[in-house]
A and B are shown apart, each in its own frame.
Chain A
Amino acid sequence: MKKIFIFSIVAANALFADSDIEELKKLVMEQQKTIQALQTRMIALEETKKTAVQSSSEKESEDKPVVAEKKQTTILASTENQVPKKKKKPKRSKENLAEEDEYAAYRTSGTSIATASSSEDNAMTESQDNTSSFDQSAFLPGIALIGNMSAVSRNISNDEYANYSIPGFFGNPGELPFNEKRGFNLNYGELEIFSTVGPYIDIFSAFHIAKDELEISELYATTRSMPYGLRLKGGKLKSEFGRINMKHQHAWEFSSIPLVFEAFFGQEGLCDEGLQLQWVAPTDFYLMAGVEMMQGSNEYSFGDTDGINSMVSYLKSAVDLGDMTTLLGGITYMQGKNGFGDTKIYGADLTLRTDFNSYSSLTWQNELLYREKPLEGGIVADQAGLYSQLIYDYNQNWSGGIRYDTIFKNVPDEPEGLDKYSAMLMYRPFEFTKLRLQYSYDKSKYFAGEQKNVQEILLDLTFEAGAHGAHAF
């Protein structure tokens, strides 16, 4: 057995060696042929050019390259079924042909082929700098650093504010992730690293760096070559239902998440480990359907994480009303275990945006969420809220906006009509820098059964450095 094995190895080795030599010989022969062909072509062209120059003028520099390229392509055709390495060189010269003095380009690229192939021969004599042979720096992923900081003024002391909560909603967040204390806050740094991993997968990651903690905010792989308009995403990801949930804090129009999201999912929205499948319908208008299977670790609405315990599904569509106006709408249904039963959430969103020109637009955005959450003892809590915001982008530098938040339906013995009003003014000296002044008047917070008015003025600064991608609609 062992002998046969060794024998086969030897045989395989010999075979490979043979075929290697054969291949190399072939390669060299072919290269010599092409070099010869190119040289004769060069001589021929030089002669025609001489005669052409004598005969004439402007038109010449235009027409000549066509001839050159035609001939070039015939050469190409004759050498087409070769090793890909070879094909590249004539191609390069083809590109150069586009240049102003195309004939000269042809000549230089011709010689570069000759020198390239001769240097290939020299490679055998190991006289080169080989330190970069395994260098992969060209494959560095895209990296972005985003920072957010704020100065906050609030009419309630920090200690007191930490004990406030929205009545009827489970769990006091305890600590706020953003704009926690009066005075200066360095809210977070976010490190985004993203790259194409191969022909089939892209990867995106966002690391949320707050004081004394590093959190994987998102890390997911996305397919890039699925057929039928499908795309699969897996990892830890922000759910893409509605409008605001998929955006990171630095892309929000206001510094805080809408009240109904804060109540249903917490300050950072619904973000969980899971799998997402999206499908774009082959229709003339935009129609997209998505399903997400999630662990269900969001404690505000779900919280039972023993298995794949929640599901989010949504349908989105958009139509253009004229050239500059777009209406975008969506519906959402989600379901997940919370320990007492299945929480069900129904959502709807509607956005109307009119663009006045490339820099100025008016956007009216609304989202509504309705939740049925089973509680202890078979009671089901019906709660609902919405937000409506109007954002005016005056130009590339200035924006302003107002938002109305309300929770209009609550569990039987808890107050309804919990409102919050916000207004903001944003200045962007440059695309990647945002300075925002925001005022909010919050009537949704209670302490010991008593309603408390919270007023807040904050100034926050967001900067985005590095390979930061474009923001979606």
Chain B
Amino acid sequence: MKKISLLFLLISASLFAKINVVTSYPWLAKVVQEVGGSAVHVTALASPRMDPHFIVPKPSLIPKLSRADLLVINGAGLEIGWLPPLLKRANNANINPGRKGFADASKAVRLIDKPKTVSRAYGDVHPNGNPHFVLDPHNLIPIAKMIAGKLSRVDPANKGLYQRNLSAFLQKWRAYLKQFDGQMRSCRGLNVVQYHALYNYLLKRYGIRSLATLEPLPGISPSSKHTFEVIKIIKRNHVKKILQDPYHEKKTSRFIAQKTNAKVIVLPQDVGAVSGTKTLKNFYQSISRRLCH
């Protein structure tokens, strides 16, 4: 009994030594790990295999939140359907919105696609703008800076370490961005259609035009009428690529591909969403490879 309690103490002591950071999605955890380094212990709540809008709010996620020192969310409404009840049940005052231990990545980037009028008649719109900004790797720079700032506030003792890690990451990332921009250059001017407006940040950055979404409205499953309209658009504009996320049904996009000359391209929306995308670099690498080669 004594041994067990001693062991328990040891474990909890080693846990306390590190800052406990919880992120909503895996890619945020990767960024936190880069900036936090050895001073943080990071956990991501969502599985990358799930639709980021509809993560199952499993009770097992509650204890992770209740012991967190810092919560980093994507924001812009992406977690609205699953995180708030978990956060409420976690009874952790430190990570409530507005507290020191709460960080919203969407506040660090400039959101696009902000709707002029907001109504649910237009489907599942995000009133603050498109929340899928992770698809543009340039956005990681302001987000990493923001996370470094938050970590330094939660854990001032390691401020120097976070600053050093941040500079190292930024240097590494800028070098990688040059390489990535080069790979994406061949895609400029391409016309595509996509399942959901998931890839808009990527498309906008690299001059690719999205002519339609397979969903008639955001969050509404494809209908046959709309699908035939998409087919018409593809034929008229000689669209070659249908961008498909890994988690939705692929029947519709395959059907459209069959009726046209376009090819279905599955692009990951997060680190680990498809195989071979375990790191941030691999994740973006697989996007440029699948889309532009």
Please report A residues at the B interface, Cβ cutoff 8 Å: 58-59, 62-63, 66, 69, 95, 97-100, 199, 222, 224-227, 229-231, 278-288, 316, 318-320, 323, 326, 328, 355, 357-359, 361, 395-397, 430-432, 465, 469-473
Contact = CB atoms under 8 A, between A and B. Distances in A.
A432 B93 CA distance: 30
Query: Nearest 6 A-B pairs (CB), nearest first?
Result: A98-B142, A358-B51, A318-B59, A225-B93, A472-B85, A286-B59
B57 A280 contact: no
A329 B83 CA distance: 21
A358 B50 contact: yes
Contacts of B47: 323
B186 interface: no
Given A280-B62, A470-B85, A357 B247 contact: yes
A229 B66 contact: yes
A224 to B, nearest CB: 6
Interface string B81-103: 11111101111110010100000
A239 to B, nearest CB: 16
Contacts, number: 117
Chain B: interface residue count, which band?
A: 35 or more
A303 to B, nearest CB: 31
Interface string B173-216: 01001100100000000000000000000000000000000000
A227 B93 contact: yes
Given A470-B80, A473-B58, A473-B59, A225 B96 contact: yes
A431 B67 contact: no
Contact of A361 (B56, B59, B82): B56
A473 B57 contact: yes
A35 to B, nearest CB: 25
B178 to A, nearest CB: 7
Given A470-B81, A472-B85, A282 B66 contact: yes
A328 B91 contact: no
Given A98-B141, A432-B120, 18 more contacts: A99-B110, A224-B93, A225-B93, A280-B62, A280-B66, A280-B89, A280-B90, A280-B91, A318-B58, A318-B60, A355-B56, A357-B247, A358-B53, A358-B247, A359-B54, A430-B219, A431-B219, A473-B58
A97 B110 CA distance: 10
Which residue, of B56, B90, B96, B174, has the highest number of chain A Cβ atoms within 10 A? Answer: B56
Contact of B108 (A63, A95, A278, A361): A95
A143 B107 CA distance: 25
Contacts of B57: 470, 472-473
